[in-house]
Amino acid sequence: MSDDGQFGLSVIVFVGSVFSPYYAWARRKGTSDPDNHCALNVALYHRNSKRWCMTERGRKHCSRDAKRYVIGPSEVSWDGVALNIRVNEVSAPIPRRIVGHIRIEPDRLFCFSTPIHPQGKHRWGPIAPTARIEVDLTDPAQQWTGTAYVDSNEGDEPIENAFHEWDWSRSLMRNGSTAVLYDMRFKDQGSSTLALLFNKQGGIDTFSPPERKLLPRTGWHVSRGMRSSSKVEITEQLEDTPFYQRAILKSELLGETVSSFHESLSIPRLVSPVVRAMLPWRMPRKL
């Protein structure tokens, strides 16, 4: 998010894209090579230049090592100080370009990962709970700086094998710490909540999460909730899709009024044959 709150950006780098209908169809055929289903998802949020792209690419278009990951014409690399993302992508079905350079410099790197399912086959952890971002795009023309957050999810099985739905949020506290809430409902009807506070000195603390407040369903009727000590306000709806929503919320956490980046995912919606048939219109594939 930019320092003035006018611009927002989300970047997701996929190896074995969890949202990919092509990957799901390949698994059904028994030919599921994750390196054959890679993608760079970029979402820009500004009232005059909102854009979203996610083109999946096969193995011959991609390569990666410890410091560099090439996905077609785009590239993610680590220079020892910052994460550099060179974007050259086109949205679909309406072709609009996203071209330029994004630099993310962590305040501190964390080596932390925790299971988010009792069987341990799905894991999550922040790499940089707080960071600075510099955005320099030529198309659309944008130059801005702001605060950033970097994390990682990984799994040893399809997401639908374990989860029913989840809510996730990230809140920047007054002292520079980052609070993360992960509210998960599992396929077997169980549930779990992670409430973690990452401070700028490298410490990690747990805290008692407040009560979960149900929020109005989205336009696509995706259910969602946020843990807060007071009423939750939806200040900006960033994404509203058949299976996923992303919003900026105002709530109360640990005695502070916070602005939170919040996401909800409905797995039954994601795996619906109708939704998977719709996704190629937004997520084309380059063989």
On whether the CB atoms of residues 18 and 157 are closer than 8 A, the answer is no
Q: Which helix or strand (DSSP H or E) is residue 248 part of? A: strand 244-253
CA-CA distance, 112 to 204, in Å (whole number)? 9
Question: Of 175, 138, 140, 168, nearest to 153 (Cα)?
Answer: 168
With H, G, I as helix, E, B as strand and everything else as coil, classify residue 280: helix
For residue range 211-249, list pLDDT tens digits in order: 999 999 999 999 999 999 999 999 999 999 999 999 999
Question: Which two structure tokens, joined as six digits, stand for 26?
Answer: 């390949």
For residue range 186-218, list pLDDT tens digits in order: 999 999 999 999 999 999 999 999 999 999 999
CA-CA distance, 128 to 126, in Å (whole number)? 6
For residue range 71-85, list pLDDT tens digits in order: 999 999 999 999 999
Question: What's the pLDDT at 47?
Answer: 82
CA-CA distance, 153 to 1, in Å (whole number)? 21
Distance of CA 211 to the CA centre of its chain: 24
The domains located in the chain, with CATH, are 1-154 (2.40.370), 158-281 (2.40.370)
Examine the pLDDT at 32 and tell me if it is beyond 90: no
Side-chain half-sphere exposure of 189, counting CA atoms within 13 A: 0
Question: Of 183, 177, 213, nearest to 195 (Cα)?
Answer: 183
Question: Of 107, 101, 154, nearest to 128 (Cα)?
Answer: 107
With H, G, I as helix, E, B as strand and everything else as coil, classify residue 50: coil
**What band does 27 get if pLDDT is binned at 50, 70 and 90?**
very high
For residue range 103-134, list pLDDT tens digits in order: 999 999 999 999 999 999 999 999 999 999 99
On whether the CB atoms of residues 186 and 117 are closer than 8 A, the answer is yes
Question: Which two structure tokens, joined as six digits, stand for 159?
Answer: 């997401």
Q: What is the pTM of this model?
A: 0.96
Question: Of 110, 134, 142, 139, nearest to 124 (Cα)?
Answer: 110
On whether the CB atoms of residues 46 and 56 are closer than 8 A, the answer is no
